[in-house]
């Protein structure tokens, strides 16, 4: 099977509508779109932004060759539209919340402005990249927080939904706080630390566990991690490992890095292993554990006194199995007509699907004394909170709930990535994004960080934006 071409990563209706906009003569109408995600209890109190780099990579090289145009011609696209694609040049503006930032439901995390023929074509690439990578970064961050300072190693490539999911997933897991990956391609591409240990196949290829461990030790004397549970963890695997540590590593002046368990009662086994390793003179030999782990299992094992130093997490991380879909959507918020902003709103029988109109800014208010995040505020484009000395927050659903805050710093979260089609943002290294993510998560109160039933972090609308939204809703129902 040939490599997939990325240029046609569209849902077909996006191209059909673009063709129609051109035919209707409204293709150059400037439109504003927002990407945001809808709440889901399984995602926890917040998500971690990721995937913007892949959007930028896609848009920086978006073009259509004759093979693409011939395929679309066969699908009924007219020649005028095909000629437009042949000479396509991306000209939109795009802003996004920086990768690694905690984000919350219903707030704009990507904003696009440009000719509607282009801006609406970006829906699939933005949602596909940001939804997937933010989902994995979020899951990784939940697992890392459950591990309480112990390292988490991403090891899910074999269970990922394809090459891209494995590689981008490893990147996202690293951003979310994972310490390393077993994915060689991701390590090479993004500079992620690479972790290696043996598995049961190596052990089974030798006549005894001692011979297997000894051979591996001679090949990896500086970072030896042996897997103990091919046959019997405590009765055969551990004694063979200790013998190798004494007879092979010690004469070389080396110490074992760790032992790994992948089956059985991991909490119980880790306690037994820790006691025996300490008594044998190897208190510095770490214990690695794997076997369908996630944040809930890790939390419960640690509550039961498990003596595990590192968690290898695969399938349930790389697939975000507890909630494998992030509900990000891409919605029109305004168009420009004769130099004026014309707001657009989607009104639905499902109240949660009513969108917020107008071009917007996203602010995060930080307490000056504690550095903790107080709330997020979505405002009109021309509202500036950067120098505000006080601000009245109010709940957009329960508007009588109000609170005036002072002594805060307001930070604007939407950063320009493209202006007039030219990339203006330089992405930091994944190491820097990961460190930034850790610091930003630290700015959230512990109650917001709870794995289950987190405190509701407030995302408010400015009163001016709220009034404008209500006016549009009222005007729609008054003219029915």
CA distance linking residue 311 with residue 177, whole number of Å: 12
Task: Decide: residue 421, CB within 10 A, 0-12 exposed, 13-18 middle, 19+ buried.
Answer: middle
Element (H, E) at 79: helix 79-86
Element (H, E) at 356: none
Q: Which residue has the tokens 């899951």?
A: 139
Q: What is the dihedral of CA 195, 317, 56, 23, to 10 degrees?
A: 150
Q: Which residues contact 260 (CB under 8 A, 6 or more apart)?
A: 197, 225, 226, 227, 228, 287, 288, 289, 290, 312
- For β-strands 340-343 and 390-394, DSSP reports them as unpaired
Q: How many CA within 13 A on the CB side of residue 380?
A: 11
Sign (positive or negative) of CA dihedral 80, 29, 351, 479: negative
335 CB neighbour count, 10 Å cutoff: 17
The rounded radius of gyration (Å) of the Cα atoms in the chain is 26
CA-closest candidate to residue 35, choices 420, 285, 356, 284: 356
DSSP category for residue 323? S
User: Which tokens go with 214?
Assistant: 């000894």
pLDDT score for 6: 79
Specify the CATH superfamily of domain 147-318: Aldolase class I (3.20.20.70)
pTM for the predicted model, two decimal places: 0.96
pLDDT score for 259: 98
CA-closest candidate to residue 270, choices 301, 239, 235, 224: 301
CA-closest candidate to residue 197, choices 216, 215, 210, 211: 216
CA-closest candidate to residue 247, choices 203, 279, 215: 215
- What are the φ/ψ torsions at residue 245 (nearest 5 degrees)? -60, -45
CA distance linking residue 236 with residue 442, whole number of Å: 43
Per-residue pLDDT of the chain (480 residues; tens, 9 = 90+): 345 567 899 999 999 999 999 999 999 999 999 999 999 888 999 999 999 999 999 999 999 999 999 999 999 999 999 999 999 999 999 999 999 999 999 999 999 999 999 999 999 999 999 999 999 999 999 999 999 999 999 999 999 999 999 999 999 999 999 999 999 999 999 999 999 999 999 999 999 999 999 999 999 999 999 999 999 999 999 999 999 999 999 999 999 999 999 999 999 999 999 999 999 999 999 999 999 999 999 999 999 999 999 999 999 999 999 899 999 999 999 999 999 999 999 998 888 899 999 999 999 999 999 999 999 999 999 999 999 999 999 888 888 999 999 999 999 999 999 999 999 999 999 999 999 999 999 999 999 999 999 999 999 999 999 999 999 999 988 776
Domain ranges in the chain with CATH number 3.20.20.70: 147-318
- The number of residues in the chain equals 480
CA distance linking residue 48 with residue 102, whole number of Å: 5
pLDDT score for 1: 31
pLDDT score for 79: 97
DSSP category for residue 386? T
Q: Would you call 235 helix, strand, or coil by DSSP?
A: helix
CATH number of 12-136+327-478: 3.20.140.10
């Amino acid at each position: 099977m040939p490599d997939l071409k990325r240029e046609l990563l569209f849902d077909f209706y996006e191209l059909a509508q673009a063709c129609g906009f051109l035919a209707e003569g409204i293709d150059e109408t400037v439109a504003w779109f927002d990407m945001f995600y809808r709440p889901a209890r399984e995602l926890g109190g917040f998500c971690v932004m990721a995937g913007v780099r892949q959007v930028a990579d896609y848009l920086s090289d978006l073009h259509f060759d004759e093979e693409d145009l011939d395929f679309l011609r066969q699908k009924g696209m007219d020649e005028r539209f095909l000629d437009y694609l042949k000479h396509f040049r991306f000209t939109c503006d795009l802003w996004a919340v920086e990768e690694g930032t905690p984000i919350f439901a219903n707030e704009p995390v990507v904003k696009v402005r440009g000719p509607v023929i282009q801006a609406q074509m970006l829906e699939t690439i933005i949602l596909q990249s940001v939804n997937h990578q933010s989902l994995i970064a979020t899951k990784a961050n939940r697992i890392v927080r459950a591990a309480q300072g112990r390292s988490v190693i991403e090891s899910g490539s074999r269970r990922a939904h394809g090459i891209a999911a494995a590689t981008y997933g490893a990147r996202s897991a690293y951003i979310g706080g994972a310490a390393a990956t077993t994915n060689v391609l991701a390590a090479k591409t993004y500079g992620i630390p690479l972790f290696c240990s043996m598995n049961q196949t190596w052990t089974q290829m030798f006549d005894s566990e001692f011979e297997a461990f000894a051979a591996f030790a001679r090949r990896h004397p500086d970072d030896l991690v042996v897997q103990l549970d091919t046959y019997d963890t405590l009765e055969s695997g551990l004694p063979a490992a200790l013998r190798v540590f004494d007879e092979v590593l010690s004469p070389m002046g080396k110490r074992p890095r760790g032992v790994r368990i992948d089956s059985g009662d991991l909490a119980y086994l880790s306690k037994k292993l820790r006691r025996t390793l300490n008594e044998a003179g190897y208190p510095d030999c770490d214990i690695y554990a794997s076997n369908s782990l996630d944040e809930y299992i890790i939390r419960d094992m640690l509550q039961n006194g498990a003596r595990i130093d590192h968690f290898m997490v695969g399938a349930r991380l790389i697939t975000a199995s507890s909630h494998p879909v992030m509900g990000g959507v891409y919605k029109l918020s305004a168009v420009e007509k004769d130099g004026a902003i014309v707001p657009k709103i989607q009104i639905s029988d499902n109240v949660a699907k009513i969108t917020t109109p107008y071009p917007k800014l996203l602010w995060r208010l930080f307490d000056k004394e504690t550095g903790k995040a107080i709330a997020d505020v979505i405002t009109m484009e021309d509202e500036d909170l950067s120098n505000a000395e006080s601000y009245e927050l109010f709940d957009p659903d329960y508007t009588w709930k109000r609170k005036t805050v002072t002594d805060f710093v307001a930070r604007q979260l939407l950063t320009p990535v493209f202006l007039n089609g030219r990339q203006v943002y330089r992405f930091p290294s994944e190491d820097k994004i990961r460190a930034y993510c850790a610091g930003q998560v630290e700015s959230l109160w512990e109650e917001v960080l709870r794995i289950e039933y987190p405190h509701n972090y407030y995302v408010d609308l400015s009163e001016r934006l709220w009034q404008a939204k209500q006016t549009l809703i009222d005007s729609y129902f008054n003219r029915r």
